[in-house]
Structure 1
Amino acid sequence: MQRLLLFIFLTFITTATAVAQETGSVRGRITTSDGTIAEGVTVKFKGTTFAGMTNEDGEYSIRKVPYGTYTLVVSAVGLYPKEKQITIGKGVLVADFSLNENRSQLADVQISTNRKKFKVDKVSPSLRLQSPLIEVPQNIKVVTSRVLADQMVFDVVDGLTRNVSGTTRTGHWDAQYANISTRGTTIPAFRNGMNMKMPWGPLADDASTIERIEFVKGPSGFMMANGEPGGIYNIVTKKPTGENHSSVSLSGGGYNLGRAAVDLDGKLSKDGRLLYRLNLAAQSKGSFNKYNFNDRYIFAPVISYQIDSATTITAEYTHQHVTAQALGNYSFSAIGFKDVPPSFFLGDPALDPSKLSDHNITLYFNHRLDNNWKVNGQVAYVKYGLEGGSMWLSSIAKNGDMLRYYNLSEELAINKNAQMSIMGDAKTGSIIHRIMGGVDMGNLKTWGDFSPGNSDIRLAITPTNPTGIFNVYNPIYGIPTANIPIFDRSRSIQVRSGSNTYATNLTYTGVYLQDEIRMLEEKLRLTLAGRFTHSVTVGKTNATQISDNVFSPRVGLSYSITNDFSAYGLYDQSFLPVAGQNYAGEAFKPIRGNNIEFGLKKDLFDGKWNATVAAYKINKKNVLTADLDPEHLAINPNAQIQLGGIESKGIEVDIAGEVVKGLDVLLNYAFTDARVKKDANPLLIGRHVPNSVKHITNGWLSYRLKNANSVLNGFGLTGGYQLQFDRYAGSTASPMKLPAYVRFDAGASYEKGKITISALVNNLLDRRLLTQGSYTNLGSRETATSSSYYTYIYDMPRNARVTLTYRFQ
């Protein structure tokens, strides 16, 4: 009995000592002697099991180290190891290292430690967030260029959304624009942290310029508050690395697809301070629509100069040019969805092709004040333009006879942005304040001219078509030149659009401050932030001149249950300026959005893959809806009021990473319930938001055999699925579902040394898939020659692609 009591007493003392043992943390940043970030470097306490590894920013962190004096060792393949004696005490110790090595030797380190293909641990600097994704109190997903290459994606409308839970694309204008939605709302496009949102643009980014794409779910006050509450997606373009990552690729495929892309990456000076990156791409693509085609080229040079070890300036220019026979690839039918075949073409080969282009110039300034603080600044200028025309429906009869009209389609948009931000860590006792502050300014001016031409574009009168009417079931092409309207373009588009509603001018200035308070050895993180935004929408009258001053708070909480498992909660707000006025001439208030979100994040199997589960609820108020008051309609037949409200709630699950050696997996599922909560018309309350999808699940698997002793070494298989159920058409007035979206893709590849050959078949089952659909109900206005009708856009039928890539390193 005495021995038992002694054993219990000693066990208690040992346990109590272990519990009471005080621990501290160490973190730092590792670079080479020429200032290059050292990614994938091992940091270890000599003679212990405490260790860490630097991330893509060269930063590391090791927590819960018992008080004491240790020898810290940094090492990696191709780098000389270095040791430093440190003493761990209360709080966080900062220990930085500079390794005596050059860029060419560092390249071996980065290649040898690059294990992650689908999983990303941290966002790009353009999103400003300094903490790892597992610690950020928000659902953020990153799609890398390696994923795009594996899926043979050539632009952001080419199957990109399959990689992010609950994210869809609504087809429009032959896929020239992305139109990406998540959580029941359309989300704006960003490039390198700059807002590119335009009424019609920007053009869909080409994969040749993309390093990664970051999807931020929910309001993103740290980037922008004046937008939809569903979130944003941020295109991060390729920058110089200082190493030879150059490559060339040639692609071919169905529907006369031909493509070439060149990526040149290197130094312009021997000391490695002046770097360059040049991406070139040209693509010619036919269409499953008769006579349609889409040709493009891309020119994207970047130059970076390292002034000193702490300061870098970068200049970037991206130009895209597209020529397309027709912008609209819509199908129409009075019978139902999928009634006409995918080959149906609304346009005509007798019409001139449309030309689209955008020019994007961006200047970056990055300066590290010390080991903790850095300052970033950037300015961007984007000019987007369209010249052409488009064919649209005037009316359609039950037998398929259609009257068409041809209108001018000309657009110009100039978007200017400027950002300045400062970020770093400060300590108050044992608490760390991760502070971020910044100023954003932007001005967007747009002009458009969509003047209609003839309201009835007739075909040539022939014995087989004596009326010259176009029929969707038996289309005849070849409009006589005399029947094609000629538009007056003698005046500039700025002058022409001054007389219509397509001339807009929006200016905003935002100030943002965030403090991420890291407590309990940085296990508990409280985010307190706010953005004040002043926006002005220039109107043609004093009544339509809108000036908004809005404060948008942000509160987040994240807790690390273990080093690789965290839970979070978030409250964030957004607002969206609304142009126009009600029947009485009163300007509309901005649409407000509130997001409440909770989630869990878990890294598994030594950080090789991770899983995220998130639940959210978004409320939008002040949404425009039709004014049903007869007295108001007598004043303005198109009168609107701000009585609408929308509620969107759902659950998202994302899994990404290397499950077993050689097998990388992306899996996601989302349940989205987006409904009208408040409206002037009681019949609309409870109906689903147009273009929302209730159930979405996607999967992508990529396996490559890595066995040097096998003849199949380097052989890979890849494939995936996209499933969408309970899809709601683009109209609340006539509630209607779209057909389910079920798509399977599969491919194979072979990698040997510097060469990779890849082949992929999309839409393997050759299903008729729709990327968009709506219904127009004419009701009592229906006649024998004008019926209610369905509008929809087909996705690509079954098609194959083959790509040959040669890497210079």
Structure 2
Amino acid sequence: MKDISLQILRLSFIIAFFLGNTSLSWSQSTNAAIEGNIFTSEGKAVVGITVRIDGTNLITSTNETGYFRFERVPSGEAKIVITAVGLKQISRVVTVGSSPIPPVEIKLTQSWNEIQEVLVNGQQNSYKVDIPSTSLRLNTPLLEIPQNIQVISSSMLSDQQVLSMDDGVIRNVSGATRLEHWGVMYTRVNMRGSRASSFRNGMDITGTWGPLNEDMSFVDRIEVVKGPAGFMMSNAEPSGIYNIVTKKPTGQDFNGSANLTLGSYDLYRASLDLDGKLDKTGKLFYRLNVMGTKSNSFRDFEFNQRAIVSPVITYKFNDATSLTFEYTYQRAKMSNVGSAYIFSTEGYGTYDRSLTLLEPAIEPTVINDHSAFAFLNHKISDNWKLTAQLGYFKYNMEGSSGWVNDVRSNGEIDRYVSIWDAESENRFGQVFLNGTVKTGIVQHKILTGIDLGSKSYIADWSQAFNLDDEDHVFNANSPVYNNFPDGVVPTFDRSVSLSIRGAANLSTQSYTGIYAQDELGFFDNTFRLTLGGRYTWLKELNYLSPREAKRFTPRLGLSVSIDRHSSLYALYDQTFTPQSGLMRSGETPKPITGNNMEIGVKKEWFEGKLRSTLSAYKILKNNTLTTDPDNSGTEGFVIDVGQSETKGIEFDAQGEIFPGLLAVVNYAFTDSKISKASDDPNLGVDAAVGARIPGFASHEANASLNYSIQRGVLKGSGIYGGVTFLGDRDTWTWASSAAIKPLPDYYKFDSGLFWRKDRVSVNLNVYNLLDTYLYSGSSYGTYYYYQAEAGRNFRLGITYKF
């Protein structure tokens, strides 16, 4: 495969060289640029409004000064079109010739307050995002990128009242499922046959456990990149990544919102979002998000409390340079991790949803999570931009985890609780350069950069206490709590520092990566060839076992515009990422290597208001890890099953069908199997060639519709409906026996009502409308374990915008 990759790259460079240096009689662009500013009737800058050149793929949005710019506009008459939901379309025609075009100034007839209301309402009703964030480094519209990238906008999060990453957010993306082992503490997303790497603002924060999952109060959007993204982002899984983009100052004078949310299971939540300027010169901006929440659960004794503060400051030195500092603090106090597990010899869903094995007297788990960023953006010229950013993450946890020693057919369960103290520290440094240049008839979009990172994680699981004995029996059929052996509530000894207690469980990693990419555009940028690659060096220590590795991973992409609203693409990409884990033999798991081959078509419908993506892919992943089926008790060994092959088809559609009706529809077929078995002696029959990889569903479909009445006395009112289906589901992990019960198909229906007028909005969402008993899980030796989801529940949110 390596030889094939090199041959493909050599051939691609030869083709690019030939096309770029041969004189052909193609119609050429004048390489003209159009720039300008958009103002309100009072002369205030309009921020974040969409601007495009009609009849082309050129689209952008205004920055904090109302400025916009287009490069390489074709000769002739160019029609500049300004659009926003709730704003009458505005256009301006300019002539593109050999002479420079003077700046275009457009003054809207609406006042600043009217434009603010239009933009706020537009953001609430915008499901289609055209441009990725700068943290993805790609200076290209999503329609033209040769990869399946989906964006979960702030509008979707708001309409569905999503509160955190463990809260159903991934139903907005095809093929993404959540492995819910860790409750509200940590989110693991699976897609395309393996775990998706987690990123925040373009930095790879993926860890074994942690950092603490993100609350949506400080999140602007979530970008999901399907397939390898390691060529530019970091060392990532071949399945893809999800990138959390946090809220930044917009540069407006002042705006904000306050929200109160009440809900089932004693949910009380308040949040505040403030955005504005700190000085009269317009150089210093701020964004401040604060949130506090407290809730219980449908399971007895389970609770979650969280507080967040996230200030962001931006200083604009001039029109070319800005510096942003961001800090987020999350504090969580919650019930024992693992409290959601239920165990039974009979199968899944055998007990009432409210059953818990948690003891209410067990001390809570407390997490303090800090993250800090610094972003420097410098515009070197009209065609070149330099970005440098630093990231720091610090995570500390003191708590415990629950599990069982034995499960019997009469309902008796022998439980235990073990200490789980942990600490992680991550540091990142990234510098990258984006530029455009033209050679002959070829347009180049250059991306190059360096990526540095170091991660460490240490944990203590060394202390454990039995919660039951022969005289103090717990029976799930008639549970009795606070019945401890000897009447003593378990407490843990923390007199010795975590660095000593967890020394044997220390995991560290440091890496350096350099990458470069050239997107070559031919025939007025209707044919785009992407050539890129990354070279990565890394060192790591896992469970006292050191290792070094290095590898080059190439990337080849092709995107062709059929017309201004549709494109075809093809992609070949590779990945390389280390793995942590402890094998029974004492060996350290080998790094993941893999490649992705993908083709797809992207199309915009209804005059560009809705975009769909249809893709087919095949991923080969080497050194696939899974839980050792011979584990017992507290053992957490993994085994290498060899090479997996994942094939699939995915469809996504997001946007507006007609005025007032917004839709998110997706479907994924996933076929993930072992293609080559490893020589691991612990490999069981369940992990033979042809066996399915656990943790996925062959069929996944989601649909969400949101309709808002456009006129009349009910204007601003509307209804929301959503459905999720998972078919032919696999369990979490391989079983130790072939004769196990399969998971049933999964159906979940949600609905909602909303009302919006002026600056006030009210949302009522009802989840699991049919009150279906939903769960997932797996077999474990002689019994089953599973986690149930909440029955019918609601959230009522009231928001006021300043």
Alignment correspondent of 1:11: none
* Among 677, 696, 701, the residue aligned to 1:692: 696
Task: State the SS of the aligned residue for 1:578.
Answer: coil
Q: How far apart, in 1, do the equivalents of 2:373 and 2:644 lie?
A: 37
Q: How far apart, in 2, do the equivalents of 1:625 and 1:265 lie?
A: 45
Contact 1:557/1:568, CA 8 A, preserved across alignment: yes
Contact 1:537/1:579, CA 8 A, preserved across alignment: no
* Among 407, 414, 421, the residue aligned to 1:410: 421
List gaps (5 residues or longer) in structure 1: 1-18, 460-465, 778-787
Range 552-561 or range 223-232, more displaced: 223-232
- What is the one-letter code of the residue matched to 1:698? N
Q: In structure 2, do the counterparts of structure 1 residues 560 and 335 end up closer, same or farther at CA, with 3 Å as the change threshold?
A: same
- What is the one-letter code of the residue matched to 1:157? D
Q: How far apart, in 2, do the equivalents of 1:602 and 1:557 lie?
A: 16
Contact 1:280/1:299, CA 8 A, preserved across alignment: yes
Contact 2:47/2:250, CA 8 A, preserved across alignment: no
Q: In structure 2, do the counterparts of structure 1 residues 20 and 143 end up closer, same or farther at CA, with 3 Å as the change threshold?
A: closer
Offset at residue 453 of structure 1 (A): 1.9
Alignment correspondent of 1:302: 312
Q: In structure 2, do the counterparts of structure 1 residues 578 and 122 end up closer, same or farther at CA, with 3 Å as the change threshold?
A: same
2:100 is equivalent to residue 97 of structure 1: no
Alignment correspondent of 2:205: 196
* Among 498, 509, 519, the residue aligned to 1:506: 509
Offset at residue 195 of structure 1 (A): 1.1
* Among 647, 659, 662, the residue aligned to 1:661: 659
Contact 1:705/1:712, CA 8 A, preserved across alignment: yes
Q: In structure 2, do the counterparts of structure 1 residues 752 and 407 end up closer, same or farther at CA, with 3 Å as the change threshold?
A: same
List gaps (5 residues or longer) in structure 2: 1-24
Q: In structure 2, do the counterparts of structure 1 residues 715 and 109 end up closer, same or farther at CA, with 3 Å as the change threshold?
A: closer
Following superposition of structure 1 onto structure 2, how do residues 350-749 of structure 1 map, counting pairs within 5 Å? 350-454=361-465, 456-458=466-468, 467-480=471-484, 482-498=487-503, 500=504, 502-538=505-541, 544-579=545-580, 588-624=589-625, 644-679=642-677, 680=679, 681=683, 684-707=688-711, 710-733=712-735, 734=737, 737-749=742-754
Task: State the SS of the aligned residue for 1:525.
Answer: strand
Q: In structure 2, do the counterparts of structure 1 residues 41 and 614 end up closer, same or farther at CA, with 3 Å as the change threshold?
A: closer
Contact 2:521/2:528, CA 8 A, preserved across alignment: yes
Alignment correspondent of 2:156: 147
Q: In structure 2, do the counterparts of structure 1 residues 62 and 303 end up closer, same or farther at CA, with 3 Å as the change threshold?
A: closer
Q: How far apart, in 2, do the equivalents of 1:510 and 1:94 lie?
A: 40
Q: How far apart, in 2, do the equivalents of 1:348 and 1:176 lie?
A: 19
Q: How far apart, in 2, do the equivalents of 1:641 and 1:181 lie?
A: 19
- What is the one-letter code of the residue matched to 1:656? Q
Q: How far apart, in 2, do the equivalents of 1:640 and 1:388 lie?
A: 24
Offset at residue 644 of structure 1 (A): 0.8
Offset at residue 62 of structure 1 (A): 8.8
Offset at residue 540 of structure 1 (A): 7.0
Task: State the SS of the aligned residue for 1:335.
Answer: coil
Alignment correspondent of 1:8: none
Q: How far apart, in 1, do the equivalents of 2:240 and 2:100 lie?
A: 35
- What is the one-letter code of the residue matched to 2:690? G
Alignment correspondent of 1:290: 300
- What is the one-letter code of the residue matched to 1:564? H
Task: State the SS of the aligned residue for 1:802.
Answer: strand
Offset at residue 170 of structure 1 (A): 1.0
Q: How far apart, in 1, do the equivalents of 2:210 and 2:308 lie?
A: 16
2:766 is equivalent to residue 766 of structure 1: no
Range 216-225 or range 522-531, more displaced: 216-225
Q: In structure 2, do the counterparts of structure 1 residues 252 and 655 end up closer, same or farther at CA, with 3 Å as the change threshold?
A: same
Range 575-584 or range 288-297, more displaced: 575-584
Q: In structure 2, do the counterparts of structure 1 residues 23 and 504 end up closer, same or farther at CA, with 3 Å as the change threshold?
A: closer
Q: In structure 2, do the counterparts of structure 1 residues 73 and 528 end up closer, same or farther at CA, with 3 Å as the change threshold?
A: closer
Q: How far apart, in 2, do the equivalents of 1:362 and 1:668 lie?
A: 34
Q: How far apart, in 1, do the equivalents of 2:220 and 2:585 lie?
A: 50
Offset at residue 622 of structure 1 (A): 2.7
Following superposition of structure 1 onto structure 2, how do residues 220-259 of structure 1 map, counting pairs within 5 Å? 220-243=229-252, 244-259=254-269
Q: How far apart, in 1, do the equivalents of 2:789 and 2:567 lie?
A: 39
Q: How far apart, in 1, do the equivalents of 2:752 and 2:636 lie?
A: 51
Q: How far apart, in 2, do the equivalents of 1:94 and 1:529 lie?
A: 33
Q: How far apart, in 2, do the equivalents of 1:492 and 1:261 lie?
A: 36
Contact 1:156/1:207, CA 8 A, preserved across alignment: yes
Q: How far apart, in 1, do the equivalents of 2:78 and 2:383 lie?
A: 23
Task: State the SS of the aligned residue for 2:255.
Answer: coil
Q: In structure 2, do the counterparts of structure 1 residues 71 and 448 end up closer, same or farther at CA, with 3 Å as the change threshold?
A: closer
Q: In structure 2, do the counterparts of structure 1 residues 107 and 428 end up closer, same or farther at CA, with 3 Å as the change threshold?
A: farther
Q: How far apart, in 2, do the equivalents of 1:39 and 1:626 lie?
A: 47
- What is the one-letter code of the residue matched to 1:802? L
Q: How far apart, in 2, do the equivalents of 1:795 and 1:27 lie?
A: 54
Contact 1:40/1:110, CA 8 A, preserved across alignment: no
- What is the one-letter code of the residue matched to 1:650? G
Q: How far apart, in 2, do the equivalents of 1:560 and 1:88 lie?
A: 24
Offset at residue 730 of structure 1 (A): 1.9
Contact 1:704/1:717, CA 8 A, preserved across alignment: yes
Aligned length: 750
Q: How far apart, in 2, do the equivalents of 1:51 and 1:217 lie?
A: 23
Deviations 1:659-682, CA, capped at 9 Å, x for gaps? 011000110000001112222456
Q: How far apart, in 1, do the equivalents of 2:647 and 2:100 lie?
A: 42
Range 668-677 or range 23-32, more displaced: 23-32
Contact 1:512/1:531, CA 8 A, preserved across alignment: yes
Identity over aligned pairs, percent: 38
2:279 is equivalent to residue 277 of structure 1: no
Q: In structure 2, do the counterparts of structure 1 residues 362 and 98 end up closer, same or farther at CA, with 3 Å as the change threshold?
A: farther
Alignment correspondent of 2:786: 792
2:190 is equivalent to residue 181 of structure 1: yes
Contact 1:527/1:555, CA 8 A, preserved across alignment: yes
Q: In structure 2, do the counterparts of structure 1 residues 107 and 231 end up closer, same or farther at CA, with 3 Å as the change threshold?
A: farther
Range 21-30 or range 433-442, more displaced: 21-30
* Among 777, 786, 795, the residue aligned to 1:801: 795
Offset at residue 225 of structure 1 (A): 4.6
Task: State the SS of the aligned residue for 2:158.
Answer: helix
Q: In structure 2, do the counterparts of structure 1 residues 720 and 229 end up closer, same or farther at CA, with 3 Å as the change threshold?
A: same
Contact 1:434/1:515, CA 8 A, preserved across alignment: yes
Q: How far apart, in 2, do the equivalents of 1:307 and 1:656 lie?
A: 37
Contact 1:457/1:483, CA 8 A, preserved across alignment: no
Q: In structure 2, do the counterparts of structure 1 residues 105 and 496 end up closer, same or farther at CA, with 3 Å as the change threshold?
A: farther
Q: In structure 2, do the counterparts of structure 1 residues 641 and 703 end up closer, same or farther at CA, with 3 Å as the change threshold?
A: closer
Task: State the SS of the aligned residue for 1:610.
Answer: strand
Q: In structure 2, do the counterparts of structure 1 residues 295 and 495 end up closer, same or farther at CA, with 3 Å as the change threshold?
A: same
Offset at residue 109 of structure 1 (A): 4.9
Q: In structure 2, do the counterparts of structure 1 residues 580 and 365 end up closer, same or farther at CA, with 3 Å as the change threshold?
A: same
Offset at residue 625 of structure 1 (A): 7.4
User: TM-score with structure 2 length normalisation?
Assistant: 0.87
Q: How far apart, in 2, do the equivalents of 1:510 and 1:598 lie?
A: 27
Alignment correspondent of 2:16: none
- What is the one-letter code of the residue matched to 1:645? Q
Offset at residue 487 of structure 1 (A): 2.1
Offset at residue 271 of structure 1 (A): 2.0
Q: In structure 2, do the counterparts of structure 1 residues 540 and 766 end up closer, same or farther at CA, with 3 Å as the change threshold?
A: closer
Q: How far apart, in 1, do the equivalents of 2:396 and 2:619 lie?
A: 34
User: TM-score with structure 1 length normalisation?
Assistant: 0.87
- What is the one-letter code of the residue matched to 2:308? I
* Among 170, 174, 184, the residue aligned to 1:161: 170
Range 714-723 or range 474-483, more displaced: 474-483
Question: How large is the Cα RMSD of the aligned pairs?
Answer: 3.2
Offset at residue 794 of structure 1 (A): 1.0
Contact 2:362/2:490, CA 8 A, preserved across alignment: no
Alignment correspondent of 1:344: 355
Alignment correspondent of 1:10: none
Q: Name which one, 1 or 2, has greater alpha-carbon Rg.
A: 1
